[in-house]
């Protein structure tokens, strides 16, 4: 008797966009984008499609990835994970430019025999665009596809899908380059993946942009280089015409088959807060069941009607919050740790940092046993060298807490707890010192405005006056406890000198600033909410802060 399991979407909550999936035996692996966060690419592992654990961040050294100077929302875009000839293949893009006409996107390949092993030195592929993917054909040849980015004003910047052969022996792309698909009328065609079934090559793409008009489309051809015919039945997946659905922004994904032959689709999605089109958790990963119709087109299982007799209907596929899977015994992983006491010399896998491949220059777990030491680096707005360690927000409401020992000597030294989206969108509860040598706790925010100027909500009155006496004074030494409480739209910060009696800083902060959509409208940024610890010393003296613990509890 088969076992039925209900799976709740998203399967990877929090910032986990652009999923690429591979099934190897009874193991499933999903790779997702990490943008400016280091190490690059998250790979999650599951045996039942319901329970997932982080297995590896493979781009973990300078030769594989160095993002110092990369703008916000650049870095690692849309990896592609595949398995062939006993090797995992990971294709990834390092994007160096965000604004303007150009992208400066460089594509690479790295391989490994095991997901959790040391990945090979990168093979450079090309720089013509982004969203690269590698297809292993059944005749032994390998094919590389990616979006071509057209910088010219008069053209569609998303210029189509390029195809070129990859030679494993020569470790380079070879042969002619052909634009095989320019997309449907929806436009902004990206995220290509190739598949082969019953003599057809299928090209899966995403269109409409990665916000609220996002969609997934399919096309097919008898020849890998086309011409490709569009699926006549509509979009494989989209929520663009259904703003009432719990999963929005659905698109960019990948296909796979389970061992029992059931086919599935993984896709990115967003969950906006009620009453607002803002997603603090960023773009997450969802899962849908799919069915191949008798006419050879793939549809979501929910889009197949009983009257269609196995043929695909003409309705677009709509994302479902819950799906039911069979024939996959439950395989839970150990529960995640809510509190880290930093007793190990290794940074807990929950955490990442920004851009740099050399964390040893700003972080130590051994210089003081039982503490995470952060050595003050550049400002919290820096695109180069920050001492900031943070973890993903994975629920709409949570409490994060830490305690630090920090003795600043000048006004340019600060350390504390931050709710962080990027260098232009954050709230930061920090400890510093004033001109008279008095230690204090305060809040600074950056709200995503074009000028990137800081806001000090405790000290800026309703009439624009700046109140210098609104900070909260601290003892000259001793440990300081900081806490962030997030309740969907609202963030409050709290501090304590003993960890028992807490003082709430008297301001409700707009937490929706921590979202893709804040600060300039749709299309701004592509990551998600983080919460973590930071230390700055813009005087260059590397004043350090010792963090005793960090806890994250969802509510």
**DSSP assignment string, 137-169:** -TTS-EEEEEEEE---TTS-SEEEEEEEEEETT
Q: For the residues 146-163, what does the mean pLDDT come to?
A: 91
What digits encode the pLDDT tens for the residues 345-377?
A: 999 999 999 999 999 999 999 999 999 999 999
Q: Confidence class of residue 476 from pLDDT cuts 50, 70 and 90? A: confident
Assign 488 to helix, strand or coil: coil
In which band, very low, low, confident or very high, does the pLDDT at 316 lie, cut at 50, 70 and 90? confident
Indicate the average pLDDT of the chain: 94
User: What is the mean pLDDT of the segment spanning 425-447?
Assistant: 97
Q: Tell me whether residue 498 is one of the annotated catalytic residues.
A: no
The confidence score (pLDDT) of residue 449 equals 83
pLDDT of 156: 82
Count CA atoms closer than 13 A to 98's CA, side-chain side.
16
Sign of the CA dihedral running 492, 495, 500, 503: negative
* DSSP H helical ranges for 220-275: none
Lowest mean pLDDT among 373-377, 459-463, 529-533: 459-463
> Cβ atoms within 10 A of the Cβ of 187, count?
14
Alpha-helical regions (H) of 182-305: none
How do residues 33-73 score in pLDDT, each as one tens digit? 999 999 999 999 999 999 999 999 999 999 999 999 999 99
Is the model's pLDDT at 464 over the cut of 60?
Answer: no
**Active-site residue identified among 18, 36, 48, 442:** 18
Asked if 18 is an active-site residue, the reply is yes
Sign of the four-CA dihedral 221, 224, 228, 234: positive
User: Is pLDDT of 74 > 90?
Assistant: yes
Of the chain, the percentage scoring pLDDT greater than 70 comes to 95
**Cβ neighbours for 319, distance < 8 A, ≥ 6 positions apart:** 9, 237, 239, 245, 247, 250, 267, 269, 286, 288
* 8 Å CB contact between 535 and 414: yes
- Across the range 329-334, mean pLDDT stands at 96
pLDDT (tens digit per residue) in 175-212:
999 999 999 999 999 999 999 999 999 999 999 999 99
* Catalytic hit among 48, 72, 190, 405: 190
Do 409 and 387 form a contact (C-beta atoms < 8 A)?
A: no
Give the separation between CA 256 and CA 8, rounded to whole angstroms.
19
Confidence check: pLDDT of 311 > 60: no
């Amino acid at each position: 008797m088969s076992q039925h399991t209900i799976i709740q979407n998203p399967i990877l909550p929090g910032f986990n966009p652009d999923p690429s999936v591979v099934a190897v035996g009874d193991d499933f692996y999903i790779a997702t984008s990490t943008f400016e966060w280091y190490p690059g690419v998250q790979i999650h592992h599951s045996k039942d499609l319901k329970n997932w654990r982080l297995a590896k961040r493979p781009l973990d050294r300078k030769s594989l990835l160095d993002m110092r100077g990369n703008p916000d929302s650049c870095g690692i875009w849309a990896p592609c994970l595949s398995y062939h000839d006993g090797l995992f293949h990971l294709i990834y893009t390092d994007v160096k430019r965000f604004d303007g006409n150009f992208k400066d996107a460089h594509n690479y390949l790295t391989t490994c025999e095991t997901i959790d092993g040391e990945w090979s030195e990168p093979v450079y592929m090309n720089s013509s665009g982004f969203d690269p993917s590698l297809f292993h054909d059944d005749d032994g040849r390998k094919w590389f596809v990616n979006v071509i980015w057209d910088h010219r004003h008069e053209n569609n910047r998303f210029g189509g899908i390029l195809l070129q052969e990859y030679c494993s022996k020569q470790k380079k792309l070879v042969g002619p380059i052909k634009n095989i698909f320019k997309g449907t009328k929806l436009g902004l065609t990206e995220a290509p993946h190739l598949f082969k079934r019953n003599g057809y090559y299928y090209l899966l793409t995403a269109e409409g942009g990665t916000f609220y008009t996002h969609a997934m489309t399919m096309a097919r051809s008898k020849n890998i280089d086309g011409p490709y015919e569009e699926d006549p039945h509509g979009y494989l997946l989209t929520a663009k015409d259904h703003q009432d659905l719990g999963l929005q922004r659905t698109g960019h994904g990948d296909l796979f088959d389970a061992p029992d032959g059931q086919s599935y689709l993984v896709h990115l999605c967003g969950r906006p807060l009620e009453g607002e089109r803002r997603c603090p958790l960023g773009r997450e990963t969802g899962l849908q069941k799919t069915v191949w119709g008798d006419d050879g087109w793939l549809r979501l299982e929910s889009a197949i009607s009983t009257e269609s007799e196995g043929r695909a209907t003409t309705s677009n596929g709509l994302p479902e919050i819950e799906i039911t899977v069979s024939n996959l015994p439950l395989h839970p992983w150990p529960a995640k740790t809510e509190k880290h006491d930093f007793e190990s010399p290794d940074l807990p896998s929950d955490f990442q940092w920004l851009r740099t491949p050399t964390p040893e220059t700003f972080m130590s777990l051994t210089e003081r046993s039982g503490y995470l030491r952060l050595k003050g680096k550049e400002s919290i707005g820096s695109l180069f060298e920050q001492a900031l360690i943070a973890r993903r927000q994975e629920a709409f409401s949570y409490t994060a807490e830490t305690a630090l020992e920090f003795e600043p000597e000048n006004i340019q030294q600060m350390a504390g707890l931050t709710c962080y989206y990027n260098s232009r969108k954050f709230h930061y509860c920090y400890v510093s010192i004033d001109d008279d040598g008095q230690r204090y706790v305060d809040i600074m925010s950056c709200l995503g405005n074009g000028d990137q100027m800081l806001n000090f909500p405790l000290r800026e009155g309703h009439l624009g006056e700046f109140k210098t006496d609104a900070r909260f004074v601290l003892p000259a030494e001793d440990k300081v406890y900081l806490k962030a409480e997030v309740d969907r739209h609202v963030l409050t910060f709290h501090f304590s000198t003993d960890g028992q009696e807490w003082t709430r800083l008297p301001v409700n902060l707009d937490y929706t600033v921590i979202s893709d959509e804040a600060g300039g409208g749709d299309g701004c940024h592509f990551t998600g909410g983080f919460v973590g610890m930071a230390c700055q010393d813009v005087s260059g003296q590397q004043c350090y802060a010792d963090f005793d613990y960090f806890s994250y509890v969802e509510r």
